[in-house]
Amino acid sequence: MKKHYVSTSQASVRMFRSSWMEALSKVHFTVPLILYVPVVLFLLWNALFIVGISIGACLAFFGLGLFLWTLVEYVMHRWVFHYEPSSGWGRRLHYIFHGVHHAYPNDEKRLVLPPSTSIPLAALLYCFFSVLLSGAGLYVFFAAFLLGYLFYDISHYALHHFSFKNPFWRKLKHHHMLHHYSDATKGYGVSSAFWDKVFGSDFHKE
């Protein structure tokens, strides 16, 4: 497997000549929480107290939203973020979206999705899911989907910058560090290794 440059520095490498584009590529890890927690609460409030979904249906749509997020996370990471086109502009685009993270994995300003990317993606996904679901079911489902995304983003930051004693987090960190420093063609799950086991991309851990 081809080895790529990997920095041990926590500093950010400049990616754009334009200052405003450079600023849009960086974000503090708390920004997704500030943006999306109110959205999650608004959706759940509407489903429970405005539309009036039953508790059973709420739990079912909530579980479905969380479950589907884990699959979307895996698919996006494996087949979108790690797709490397052969063209020069394609490789540049890949570097902007994900290659820079593998080259500078400890860059604390590029560990969660910036709003310039996450907001359009969230809007597109909401429109897509609204074709399949409606009303309170859609609200609860998408609230859970967003919570899954938040867990992914915040845990991704934590895996790179925190040390853990808890067995769950230690195992999750070990899994993700193997993806970065051992074999980037395996270990695509960040918040869970479940789909790596399903699709055969897990590591043989001792």
- Tokens 């974000």 belong to which residue? 27
pLDDT above 90 (res 58): yes
Structure tokens at 58: 């709420």
Span 6-27, pLDDT tens digits: 666 666 777 788 888 888 888 8
pLDDT grade for 83, boundaries at 50, 70 and 90 = confident
Instruction: Return the pLDDT at 2.
Output: 47
Structure tokens at 36: 């999306």
Instruction: Return the pLDDT at 62.
Output: 98
The single-letter DSSP state of residue 82 is T
Q: List the one residue out of 27, 53, 24, 38 whose CA is nearest residue 146.
A: 38
Distance CA 174, CA 168 (A): 10
Span 84-135, pLDDT tens digits: 888 888 888 887 778 788 888 888 888 888 898 899 999 999 999 999 999 9
Contact 188, 196 (CB under 8 A): yes
Distance CA 191, CA 189 (A): 6
CA-only gyration radius of the chain, Å: 18
Contact 140, 44 (CB under 8 A): yes
Span 134-191, pLDDT tens digits: 999 999 999 999 999 999 999 999 999 899 999 999 999 999 999 999 999 999 999 9
Distance CA 97, CA 28 (A): 17
* Cβ neighbours, 10 Å, residue 6: 12
Contact 157, 110 (CB under 8 A): no
Contact 193, 19 (CB under 8 A): no
For the chain, give every domain's residue range. 29-199
DSSP 1-49: ----------SPPP--SSHHHHHHT---TTHHHHHHHHHHHHHHHIIII
Contact 48, 128 (CB under 8 A): no
Q: Which pTM was predicted?
A: 0.90
Q: How far is CA 136 from CA 14, 56, 147, 193, in A?
A: 44, 12, 17, 30
